[in-house]
Amino acid sequence: MVSIVKATKKNSKDICPLFNSYRVFYKQESDMAASFDFIKKRLEQSEAVIFLAYIKDVPVGFTLLYKTFSSVSMQPSFILNDLFVDSSQRKKGVGEALLNKAKEYCIEKNYKGLALETDMNNPAQKLYEKLDWKKDSHCFHYFWSANKGI
């Protein structure tokens, strides 16, 4: 059975191997020290909400939320920036449990909603749509990078 907890600094060591694997999945160099530092800072500075999934006390996945605001609706919302499940634990409901926990937290905080961006070929799109996420068809997404190589 999957259990989901809201991460604290005490969970940093459980999150970091998963976070590092997530970055490697997206073709970044493995760097456990930097992963630990990044997660620790986000939690210490209250810059992110991280939910961590466990199966039998083993960390198997996480989702990371960042707070943002809508000027038009004058409401806060979350960007679901990262969702990762260890490859050996996929198809066991972990991703769905993490997404549902993020939705519950959003409702609990009385936020407008959750936004996420995903690769056009990501098979998780089927899960998002199953859980009532709607694909934007009314706007385009643009990004400007200060680092021209990224």
64-107 pLDDT, tens digit each:
999 999 999 999 999 999 999 999 999 899 999 999 999 999 99
Average pLDDT, the chain: 89
d(CA 82, CA 50): 9
Is CATH 3.20.20.70 correct for 2-130?
no
Sheet strands side by side (includes 2-6): 2-6, 49-55, 58-70, 75-85, 114-115
Over residues 35-47, mean pLDDT: 94
Using the predicted structure, report yes or no on whether residue 132 has a pLDDT greater than 80: no
Question: What is the percentage of the chain residues whose pLDDT exceeds 90?
Answer: 69
Residue whose C-alpha is closest to residue 20's, from 32, 8, 9: 32
List alpha helices for 86-140, DSSP H: 94-108, 125-130
User: What is the reported pLDDT for 149?
Assistant: 61
Helix (H, G, I), strand (E, B) or coil at 61: strand
DSSP single-letter state for residue 10: G
Over residues 15-37, mean pLDDT: 95
